[in-house]
Structure 1
């Protein structure tokens, strides 16, 4: 009689084990289906934030490395990325010798006359107030800049070199530019720089 009582318990245990295994298998299939479906429906593409400087020296477009000359003009920044950005330009100046080697002669940034929609952030930093769409450019930064010639403390001729660097930050959400650059953005435009 003891054997007959054990059989129903073994059958119940077997049935319970089979039921649990079936539930685990169904749950695994459901999770796998959801993951596969989630991958197929993901349309998210991360934004690309990049930019470039365009400028002329003595009326000729500068490409690649620095060009020598006495007048820098038509300085703009282009949004080369995939999302709308705010752009800023950073100017730096130094003195170079006839071979282009930096001399160490003390230098100062030239005074420039900004054009419309540009804000002076101080220390050679200039902000374009409007957001710039992908593959679009800012307006020209300033009036042409005269690059000077001078004499170093050793008596050698030196030439002022002005380098322009562009920086970009995503325009939306507005707090991106506010947090990254410390600017004030109101109604989709930079209204103040700190």
Structure 2
């Protein structure tokens, strides 16, 4: 397998994994809301892509334990919702905050490494870095323990941040697919 094909396959997995992480489609089953695009599947795709890109980006291999942790937690929560209707980690505030911080770091570093891959292959990655920074800032702001629901101004700000965060996520997805298309499949 040539480098372009391997990189393209890895970027395809990362892009589709990111789709699964960004989009939530819930289906009601027996009074339970189940995500039909589970996050654990996204982490599984990204984990397999990390193995493919390991020789190209050595720092990316450092994300494997974080990807495994986030994937296992997402799978446990998905199964808990399927069986009981509630996430398991949602019951433990400090664990939920810790996992949110790990998730922010994981996405930030993944996009940093992909921007480096793009620049190593002479593709500009300024917009990916900007979106990476904006996404991290918005996620941190949304984690702040503010009275979001008690204050009308904060409620509007919260809604605005969610919309902006979703748009940034869509733009990141677009950039990931554009980056993937920058590595054409070569004839075997």
The alignment's TM-score, normalised by the length of structure 1, stands at 0.21
Q: Which has the larger radius of gyration?
A: 1
Choose between structure 1 and 2: higher strand proportion. Answer: 1
Considering fraction of residues, name the structure with more helix.
2
